[in-house]
Amino acid sequence: MDINKILKELAKRRPVFHSEHDFKFELAWQIKSGHKNASIRLEYPYRLLGLESDQTQNDRYLDLFVQIDLNRFFIELKYLTAAISTSHKDERFQLAKHGAYPNLSYNVIKDISRVEHSLGKQQTTKENESSAIGFVIVLTNDPVYRTPPGENASYVNFSLYNERELNPEILNWNGQFKAADRCPPIKILGNYQFLWEDYSQIGETERGTFKVLVVPITAGS
């Protein structure tokens, strides 16, 4: 499954979304349109992927679980918006500003960790040569996410700026952060580079520019 090609096709039909749930549903629809034999589940329980309660809460769910033949795909999505009022094909969109950059950036990195651990729990045998691949996908019209924060920013270690390299390490907050007790350090197992790509352009303003970050994850990446 070529997730980048699927996103490009989706952008032609849906350049903007009302919400993260809207984005999730439409991506599932797009995958199904190109892969008729795909089995797709929204909000799939992480505990069924082998994660124990100490790694994620029992009520945590994977955004999209896709199976095509013997290939399984674990997909987490984030739709992080800046405020904009716009329209597409006579449909009105009123997007709110999410802000809360420390928490939301942290959540993206946490998704990477969750998918890594899920993939690590998957087993392949000679009788069942299946593959499991993960993707964390972030769609935003807020340029803050792809811009390096100041070196003193509390969330600098969780930032998503363009061309950032993320390597195996334990990530923690920089200095004091009031929600640190609810957002513990995150252990990253793989090597990644964050490369933001064009998704769509709505109107002529900067907030009408949507960029997408796709982070592919494999077991032992």
Residue 80: domain span: 3-218
As a whole number of angstroms, the distance between CA 152 and CA 187 comes to: 21
Gap between the Cα atoms of 119 and 42, Å rounded: 18
Coil, strand or helix at 3:
helix
With 80 as the cut, is the pLDDT of residue 176 above it? no
Non-local (6+) Cβ contacts of 202 within 8 A are 15, 16, 84, 86, 88, 93, 208, 210
Mean of the pLDDT values across residues 61-70? 93
Quote the pTM value.
0.91
The span from the CA of 147 to the CA of 161, in Å, is 5
* Confidence label for 128 from pLDDT (cuts 50, 70 and 90): low
Would you give the DSSP letter of residue 30? Answer: H
Given a cut of 90, whether residue 106 has pLDDT beyond it is yes
Query: Does 126 score more than 50 pLDDT?
Result: no
Domain count for the chain, please give it.
Answer: 1
Q: Is the pLDDT reported for residue 54 higher than 50?
A: no
